[in-house]
Amino acid sequence: MKRLISYLVLPVEISAFERQYLARMNRIALIFFFCHIPVFIGVAALAGTSPTRAAILTLLALIGPAVAYKTLQNPRHLSVVFGFTAMCMGGILVHIGQGSMQIEMHFYFFVLIALLAVFANPLAIVTAAVTVALHHLTLYLLLPRSVFNYDASIWAVVVHFVFVILESVAACFVARSFFDNVIGLEKIVQSRTNALSDRNRDMRLVLDNVGQGFLTIEPNGTVSAERSAIAARWVGGYVPGKKIWEHLGELDSAGADWFRVAWDSIADDVLPLDMSIDQLPRRWTAGKTTFSLEYRPLIVDGRLTQMLLVMSDVSAQLEREQSEIEQRDFMRLFQCLLKDKKGLLEFFSEADDLVSKIVTPEVTGPELRRLVHTLKGNCALFGLSALAAFCHDLESNLLDAGGAMTGSKREQLGRIWGLFASNLRSLLGSDRADRVEVDQTEYAAVLDALDGNAAREEIALRIKTWQFETARTRLTRIAEQTRAIGSRLGKGSLNVVIEPNDVLLFPESWSAFWSSFTHAIRNAVDHGIESPEERLAVGKPREGQIRLTTKLLDDELWVEIADDGRGIAWNLVRERAAAAGLPHESREALVEALFHDGLTTKGEISEFSGRGIGMGAVRAICRKMGGSVQITSTEGKGTCLSFRWSNVHDRLDALVLGPISSPTIENQTQEAEGHLQ
Amino acid sequence: MAATVLVVDDSRAIRQQVGDALATAGYSILEAEDGVQGLLRISEQPDIAMVICDINMPHMNGLEMLAKLKADPSNAALPVLMLTTEGKADLIQQAKRSGAKGWIVKPFKVDQLVAAVRKIVGR
Amino acid sequence: MVGRVFLGVWGAGILVVGASLMAGHVVSLPVPRATDSRLRASLAAGPGVVKGRWSAHHVLYQSCGCSQRVLAHLLTRRARPDLVETVVYVRDPAAADATEPATVRAQAERAGFGFETSTPAELERRYAVESAPFLLVGDGSGAVRYAGGYTARSGSTQIEDGDIIDGLQAGRQVGALPVFGCAVSSRVQKAIDPLGLKYARGGI
């Protein structure tokens, strides 16, 4: 019974779809019933019953639905009223249609009961059936038995009733099925749609809270509406038809044209797609913010259907990286200061000199390139990666742009150098480079000499040499740098041997040379020394060996760097020289070619070498100082680079100094006496 | 018969790099170090399949060379790929107007360039 | 809330009205028993009775649709020669058209029927009949052979007077059909139409 009730009575909730549908149906029903008025009048006229009465009765029957239509809130209740009304109409029709068609008029009831299914509400049908029953019941109750005889007509009524029941049951079934499947279907669709929009909302929530901006771009460059919230913040809201470069152009107008050109190349389909995508800009700045741009192509059937652009705000990250680099540099600076203050200070004054030359607008061309190259190398040696990287970029730009520096680049270099200089000054404090450091033994020796009355000139000379730098110090420093380069280039731990031979050099004269000497070191390590595996393969000891020598002999100063590496590949040099149009017949010509700017036997340009500038630079300085260069090399055995200066005695900037000269006889005796006593 | 590619760039390093890579890929290479030489090579060897050309060169830069090249209708079909640094949109547009087929930004990966050549020339 | 109350009242009202109206179609009207003295008396003597001949009295009510149908049927079939047929036309005192009976008389007489007018009160007095259309058949000996209605079903178009008479004459016992039509006497009218819907008594 409960099931029956729940079948006939619809669930309480009325969906919007049902409401809409019932509103329509109820409106149609009202109009339908009102249209009965003329029809019934016509029928009455045809049947010979009173048309007036027909009109009055019909209007009476319409009062109910009209009132209900205006006042009832629940559309289902209104449908039920129509169920009742339908039966009333049927009754009226039967009444006025009496005569030849009276039986046939009863068809109206059955048609209407079926039509009531349209309300998708079994209760409307039940109401109609109940109305009919009530109608007959009322009659039964109202009329006095005594007067009337029912027997004759009762069976007719019973048959009617059976048909009404039958049809009502069927119509209820139809109505309920309609409700469950059509209106219910709409409910299912609605709930699915709701579930979907819930999911969309969740997705949206995820996207909105993701830190990256996602944008979808059509092949023609227009940006789709879907974007994560943060993308909308960065790039603006959806504007139909607006292109991605227009959006980005608002952040940074300069790059917009470039983006467009780069995007067009994808459409041109000249280059392979991944290459075209690689050429799209990876970074985009908007004032203080830097974005990284990543592109993910969506390819269907081999064609690009959409491009997903992932924007990330990397400003913080870049700043962090930058400050990490700066901190690292600062640390390294500090370490250098602790390990080799003199060297650092020397480097600083030299580099300062280089920088001031570089930022001079008049300096251009190969000269400028050489300066930048040298600066870069030195910075790299001292581990000043920020500056070295800047120089590297600068070098590439110089090659491209034809050898001149733009004002902004000059300014940038000045700024970076200024930062470094101030860092250094802060570390040094009030330290100045104009001090002389003397180690203890030297100090003691001079005191002894004074005590021992050595010759004034000698002592003076000795003291003068305190300003000189021992080759030992210099070569030790260079050796360290060499080892550092070696490990950085993957040549293992190099065995660096120094032979200073007590040479003393006046720093100021030689600093330029030492500065560009680094090129020779780099070349030796990079080109000369093989990788540990290669060395083992040819039977050499695993570690490469580099020998740094200074010697003063027969009034000639030698500075040599020798390696036991693979030696110079003279035929390669010949090839390259030939390709470059240089003379390449004799050994001398080849040596000359080797020092030529721009010649390299290296396949790639690395941070260290490969541009072919170094050798030329160092030779130039050597010659400027009045020296000459020699190369000896045996393929497979090694290379030796010798720098030679003659007439050292006249130079006053290179000395060999032994111990202070032996004291005079008087002194010796005194000393001996001193000893004896 | 291997297709011939002309590489025009004033940087020896680049010519060598590109040349080697393309040669390994099976192309035959011609080199020139500026626009003048480039045009010379093309006039000497008419069956060049493709030209890779830097924009920044002394004596005659890439754009001028391109313009002169395309002025001759017999070169209309010759694909020319320009090499340029990033950000120079106006140069690229000029190149395209003058008839360049495409362009590549420096620095580039050499194997990508080879793939591009393969796509344009075939083989 | 008001709306619902109104609807409830309206619904109930319509039901009652409808039931009232329906009564007229569904219910068969009271009929005098065949043994009623007044009936016998009317068949013994009176208009339309001829000794030794079968007689049929067709009681028709002026404002009754069913009676009109029967009338139309009678006019079409014309009076049978084997019996004396009389139309007893009961006038409706409230009817607007007073001349109508004259027209009907002319039609009926043309068709071979005898014609009598009557009133509801007189009908009841003379024939003990309160409803129409009503068929009264006598066999000439004063016995009431048939007193009942014309159709088996309410609203039926099959008017069976012919078959009834034939059956009677053939000696069969024909059961009286119920009278479907209109109440004539005010008593029955009140009973069947307490609301006064159909039988206007100065009402609708």
Give me the CATH number covering residue C58.
3.40.30.10
Q: How many domains does chain C have?
A: 1
Statement: residue A420 has pLDDT above 70: yes
Q: Which domains does chain B have, with CATH numbers?
A: 4-121 (3.40.50.2300)
Residue A520's pLDDT is 85
Residue C199 resides in a domain: no
C78-87 tens-digit pLDDT:
888 888 888 8
Q: Quick check: ipTM above 0.85?
A: no
Partner-chain residue, chosen from B102, B105, B107, that has the shortest CB–CB distance to A270: B102
Query: With contacts defined as CB-CB under 8 Å, which chain A residues touch C194?
Result: 142
Q: Is the previous residue joined to B107 through a cis bond, with omega within 30 degrees of 0?
A: yes
A288-291: Cβ within 8 A, 24+ apart: A288/A315, A289/A313, A289/A315, A290/A314, A290/A315, A290/A318, A291/A213, A291/A234, A291/A251, A291/A315
- Shortest Cα–Cα distance, A261 to chain B (Å): 6
A162-190 tens-digit pLDDT:
888 999 999 999 999 998 888 888 778 88
Cα–Cα distance for residue pair A182/A21, rounded to 1 Å = 11
Average pLDDT for A462-491:
82
Statement: residue C156 has pLDDT above 80: no
Q: Which domain holds residue C70?
A: 2-192
Average pLDDT for A191-201:
89
- Kindly determine whether residue C30 and residue A148, on different chains, have CB atoms separated by under 8 Å: yes
Query: With contacts defined as CB-CB under 8 Å, which chain B residues touch A612?
Result: 12-13
Cα dihedral C139/C141/C147/C150 (nearest 10) = 20
Q: Which of B97-101, C15-19, C92-96 is predicted most confidently?
A: B97-101
Mutation target to probe the B interface, by most B beta carbons within 10 A, among A400, A406, A604, A609 is A400
Q: Decide: C and A in contact? Rule: 3+ Cβ pairs under 8 Å.
A: yes
- Bigger pLDDT: A96 or A612? A96
Q: Is 0.80 topped by the overall pTM?
A: no
Residue C77 resides in a domain: yes
- Kindly determine whether residue B12 and residue A279, on different chains, have CB atoms separated by under 8 Å: no
A543-555 tens-digit pLDDT:
899 999 999 888 8
Partner-chain residue, chosen from C14, C153, C191, that has the shortest CB–CB distance to A64: C14
Residue C97 binned pLDDT confidence (cut-offs 50, 70, 90) = low
Residue A143 contacts B, CB cutoff 8 Å: no
Average pLDDT for A387-413:
73
Residue C202 resides in a domain: no
Residue C121 resides in a domain: yes
For A66, name the nearest residue in chain C, comparing CA atoms only.
C7
- Bigger pLDDT: C153 or A522? A522
Query: With contacts defined as CB-CB under 8 Å, which chain B residues touch A265?
Result: 102-103
Residue B72 contacts A, CB cutoff 8 Å: no
C110-150 tens-digit pLDDT:
888 888 888 888 888 888 888 888 888 888 787 888 888 88
Query: With contacts defined as CB-CB under 8 Å, which chain B residues touch A599?
Result: 12
Query: With contacts defined as CB-CB under 8 Å, which chain B residues touch A401?
Result: 56
Q: Which domains does chain A have, with CATH numbers?
A: 2-190 (no CATH), 213-313 (3.30.450.20), 318-435 (1.20.120), 460-659 (3.30.565.10)
Residue C204's pLDDT is 31
Statement: residue C195 has pLDDT above 70: no
Statement: residue A136 has pLDDT above 60: yes
pLDDT, mean over chain A: 82
Q: What is the token pair recorded at B52? A: 């890779």
Question: What one-letter code names the amino acid at A77?
Answer: H
Residue A613's pLDDT is 64
Residue A126's pLDDT is 93
Residue A598 binned pLDDT confidence (cut-offs 50, 70, 90) = low
Burial call A585-599: b when 16+ CB within 10 Å, e when fewer: eeeeebbebbbbebb
Statement: residue A663 has pLDDT above 60: no
Residue C184's pLDDT is 82
Percent of chain B with pLDDT over 90: 7
Partner-chain residue, chosen from A254, A270, A400, that has the shortest CB–CB distance to B101: A270
Residue C94 resides in a domain: yes
Statement: residue A464 has pLDDT above 50: yes
Contact predicate A543/A493, CB 8 Å: yes
Q: What is the token pair recorded at C99? A: 């001349």
Residue C200 resides in a domain: no
Residue C148 resides in a domain: yes
3-state secondary structure of C80: coil
pLDDT, mean over chain C: 80
For A270, name the nearest residue in chain B, comparing CA atoms only.
B102
Residue A657 binned pLDDT confidence (cut-offs 50, 70, 90) = low
Counted across chains A and B, CB pairs separated by less than 8 A come out at: 65
Residue C27 contacts A, CB cutoff 8 Å: yes
Percent of chain A with pLDDT over 70: 90
- Bigger pLDDT: A174 or A53? A174
- Bigger pLDDT: C22 or C7? C7
Percent of chain A with pLDDT over 90: 17
User: Which residues lie across from B52 on neighbouring strands?
Assistant: B7, B81
Statement: residue A117 has pLDDT above 90: yes
- Kindly determine whether residue A94 and residue C191, on different chains, have CB atoms separated by under 8 Å: no
For A261, name the nearest residue in chain B, comparing CA atoms only.
B89
Q: Angle CA(A632)–CA(A634)–CA(A635) in degrees, nearest 5?
A: 140
Residue C19 resides in a domain: yes
Residue C110 contacts A, CB cutoff 8 Å: no
Query: With contacts defined as CB-CB under 8 Å, which chain A residues touch C19?
Result: 135-136, 138-139, 142
Cα dihedral A157/A162/A163/A168 (nearest 10) = 120
